[in-house]
Amino acid sequence: MEGKVLVVDDDSYVIESCGKVLVPEGFLVRAVTDGHEAMEIFFCDTYDVVFINYEKIHNDGSNLVRWLHRKYPDTCVVAVVDTNHEFVKTEGILDYLTKPFSLEILLQTTKRAFYLSKQFAPSIKKEIKTAQYVDKLGELAIIVNKYKGKPAMLLEVLRQAQALIGYLPEEVQKIISKGLKIPVSEIHSVVSFYPSFTMKPRGRHHIKVCMGPACIAKKAETLLKNLTAGLNLQDSDITEDMRFSYEKVFCVGACSDAPVMEIDDDSHTRVEVDKVDEILKAYN
């Protein structure tokens, strides 16, 4: 048996599709129509994942969520919401499933939620439940699981985690700490040491301007000036629309091709300092 799923919904479509998709995958599925019933069931048996229709529940869905969060922190709650519904991230809800959904998405969401319920200690879960990147946590769990108990793979895990989420906030480091069995202080020390890792969010495109001696000799300072002026940046290192962020780096090791500017995975070598704007146009 993979795990136990409880569906709290009066929509027969949701209940039927859960049964159709999840039972063959080895999940035990049980469905109830209101919150009271759900609570009663929880007195006899606990469930790993709870799908809950956030609006239609008679007993005010948020009550049940709060109750589960308090009493059964290991249970992962997924809210089933309608399209275009502007949901507010509520404490206790770890993931969302938007109706109508395809059967694959249902299965994916369930597996992700199942990972989350099994992987993380309640204390971490409480913090991450409200985080911005909550929808990426399932994939993160898969990465961490792959390298479970291998502390030597820390750099690899951190790199993949950053590629997934874009940066490495404290909560993510705690998740990795748990999976790899390394104290979180040590993880923080590694994250803060290597310049490739960042704890600050980055723009959609991240620009690195090399400030090595060879690049300086080839007018990297003018390049930087043109860049910040072109992006209308004063003191901040990220544009308001989150399109670009930039940082100065020291010697990327391409001295023969100075000056060098790197945007995401592309490195722009021998940049003509007056034509920075044209390079940026290609990135949206």
Partner 1 sequence: MSKITIDELMKIKEQALKLKAEKKAVLMLCAGSSCSKRDGLKIKAIVEEELKARGILDTVLVGINGCSGLCEHGPILQIYPEGYFYEKVKPDYIPEIIEEHVIKGNIVEKYMYNDPTTKKPIPKIEDIPTYKLQSKRVLQNRTKIDPTSIDDYIAQDGYRGAIEAITNKSPMDVIGIIKDAALRGRGGSGFPTGTKWEIAAYSVPPANLNGSKYVICNAGAISRAIMEIDPHSIIEGMIIAGYAIGAHTGYIYIREPEHKSLIQLMEKALKGATKYGLLGKNILNTTFSFNIELFIGAGTFICGEETALIASIEGKRGYPTPKPPYPATRGLWNCPTVVDNGETFANVPQIILKGAQWFKTLGTDDSSGTKLFTLTGPLQFNGLVEVPFGVSLKSMVYDISGGLRKGSKLKAVQIGGPTGAFLPPSSIEMPLTYGDIKQHESIVGSSGIIVLDQNTCIVNAVRLAMTFGVAESCGKCVPCRIGTTLMLGKLTDITEGKATENDMQILEDIAIEVKRTSLCGFGRTIVLPLLSAMKHFKEEFYAHIHDKWCKAGVCKTLSTFTIDGQSCKGCTSCARKCPVSAISGERKKPHSINQSLCIRCRTCYETCTFNAIKIGHAAWYDPSLASAQTSKEENQ
Decide if residue 216 touches partner 1 (CB under 8 A): yes
Whether 80 and 14 have beta carbons less than 8 Å apart is answered as yes
Decide if residue 193 touches partner 1 (CB under 8 A): yes
Task: Give CA–CA dist 243/230, Å, rounded.
Answer: 13
- With respect to partner 1, which residue has the nearer C-beta, 33 or 162? 162
Residue 36 tokens read as 């009271």
Q: Which of 56, 67, 269, 283 binds partner 1 (CB under 8 A)?
A: 269
Q: Which of 23, 121, 155, 242 binds partner 1 (CB under 8 A)?
A: 155
Task: Give CA–CA dist 110/61, Å, rounded.
Answer: 19
Q: Which of 153, 164, 199, 273 binds partner 1 (CB under 8 A)?
A: 153
- With respect to partner 1, which residue has the nearer C-beta, 18 or 271? 271
Decide if residue 226 touches partner 1 (CB under 8 A): no
Q: Which of 84, 185, 232, 256 binds partner 1 (CB under 8 A)?
A: 256
Decide if residue 196 touches partner 1 (CB under 8 A): yes
Q: Which of 2, 45, 156, 278 binds partner 1 (CB under 8 A)?
A: 156
Q: Which of 102, 213, 274, 277 binds partner 1 (CB under 8 A)?
A: 213
- With respect to partner 1, which residue has the nearer C-beta, 134 or 216? 216
Decide if residue 148 touches partner 1 (CB under 8 A): no
* Sequence-separated (6 or more) residues with CB below 8 Å from residue 236: none
Q: Which of 28, 134, 254, 273 binds partner 1 (CB under 8 A)?
A: 254
As measured in angstroms, the least distance from the Cβ of 220 to partner 1 is 10
Residue 159 tokens read as 């790199």
Partners of residue 129 on adjacent β-strands? none
Catalog residues that contact partner 1 under the rule CB under 8 A.
151-156, 158-159, 186, 189-190, 193-197, 208, 211-214, 216-218, 249-258, 262, 265, 267-270
